[in-house]
Copies of this chain bind each other. A is one copy, B any other.
Amino acid sequence: MSEIRKHYFLEEYCIIAPQRGFRPSDFSKFRKTDVSIGDYGSDRGCVFCLGSEDKTPPATAVYTDEGVESDESCGVVRDWLVRCFPNRYPVLSPDRFSGDPLARGFGFHEVIVETPIHNHEPSSFSDAEITRLVGAYKDRYEFYMGVSGVEFVSLFKNHGSSAGASIAHSHSQLVALPLIPPRFSLEVDGKECRFCNIIKCEAGSERLILMRDGWVAFAPYFSRYPFEVWIAPIKHFSDLTGLNHVFSFASILRDILSSMREFFGGFSYNYVFFQCDVESYHLHVKVFPRLSVSAGFEENTGICINSVAPEDAAAELRSIILSK
């Protein structure tokens, strides 16, 4: 039986409809050929692979065993482990003109290639790899938040074509905007954090998946997508500038992705950083495998149909993590 659930504090609804998961599909045979099922294709011609540095714009930041460099300061760095550079097909771009930043599409769009290895991705990363990547996220976020005219930095990963990626080689993206997206103002209510209490409640609920080193991962009561997971610090801070212990968060992110991979096999997924430079906002990262398509009903109503109850999703992922 379905249930219509209201968001914790926003005027938003979702429908938990477990019986929808059993419906047949004419299209499942097509979905099996999707790269989301673990096929990266050949690395031949991949512009994000080690050795293809000349096929992308010069790197703005390059992480090696030695630390951080950039192509501009050092020439093209070849022995990179994480490589950041401007997107060749940017959503927004800086320019030399003045005037309304909205009308001229002012902003920055950066690609963060997470690994030099073609068919490797965060769910299989070592402790060192995932820590280096999250460290790069923090650096690049802080860098762009310091650029004049930037009000907000969106940081996210699309993995697999169902999740909106156009390149298979594992990468994240960062888009720096000249405005704070209106949805964030709805989540902020003066000086009081609206998330602190939610996070504490979920940490004590049947939806908890993992709690470690001051962080929790849970399937939220208000889950818009099947197997949606939120990762959040128990102690309040609003964005990555407040992240002091990179490994604590990074290892939980990797472990959640790894448990999903064990449950689904190869899969398309997104993870998205919800953060902003407002003291009362509470950083959280949403992770969700892409198992469903937003369709006419969602467009019409703004209400997502989720065919997996978060209580069930949490139980599955928790049991995988506990069995390690």
Give A contacts to B, CB under 8 Å. Answer: 1-6, 11-13, 15-17, 19-20, 22-27, 30-31, 33-35, 41, 46, 88-93, 95, 101-105, 107, 152, 154-158, 161-168, 173, 175, 177-179, 181-183, 270-274, 286, 292-297, 299-303, 305
Least CB distance from A272 to B in Å reads: 5
Q: Which residues of B contact A17 (CB under 8 A)?
A: 90-92, 105
**Are B181 and A1 touching (Cβ within 8 A)?**
no
Q: Given contacts A4-B102, A182-B11, A302-B181, is CB(A27)–CB(B297) below 8 Å? A: no
* Residue among A41, A91, A95 with max Cβ neighbours from chain B (10 Å): A91
| From B6, B88, B91, B178, contact of A297 by CB (8 A) | B91
**Are A181 and B303 touching (Cβ within 8 A)?**
yes
12 contacts between A and B (CB under 8 A): A2-B93, A4-B177, A15-B105, A17-B91, A26-B166, A26-B168, A27-B166, A30-B33, A154-B297, A181-B300, A181-B302, A181-B303
Closest to A183 in B: B302
Q: Given contacts A154-B300, A301-B154, is CB(A91)–CB(B20) below 8 Å? A: yes
**Are B92 and A299 touching (Cβ within 8 A)?**
no
Tell me the bound Cα distance from A293 to B25 in angstroms.
Answer: 20
Tell me the bound Cα distance from A24 to B56 in angstroms.
Answer: 13
Q: Given contacts A179-B4, A294-B164, is CB(A156)–CB(B27) below 8 Å? A: no
Q: A13-B102, A30-B33, A273-B300 are in contact. List 19 more A-B contacts (CB 8 A).
A: A1-B105, A2-B91, A3-B104, A4-B101, A11-B182, A15-B92, A17-B105, A23-B88, A25-B166, A25-B167, A26-B41, A27-B168, A30-B34, A30-B35, A33-B33, A91-B305, A158-B295, A165-B295, A181-B303
User: What number of copies of this chain does the assembly contain?
Assistant: 2
Q: Which residues of B contact A164 (CB under 8 A)?
A: 292-296
Closest to A294 in B: B294
**Are A89 and B296 touching (Cβ within 8 A)?**
no
**Are B296 and A270 touching (Cβ within 8 A)?**
yes
Q: Given contacts A35-B27, A166-B23, is CB(A4)–CB(B297) below 8 Å? A: no
Closest to A29 in B: B41
| From B1, B102, B155, B270, contact of A6 by CB (8 A) | B102
Q: Which residues of B contact A175 (CB under 8 A)?
A: 297
Least CB distance from A54 to B in Å reads: 16
Q: Which residues of B contact A104 (CB under 8 A)?
A: 1, 3
Closest to A286 in B: B299
Q: Which residues of B contact A286 (CB under 8 A)?
A: 299
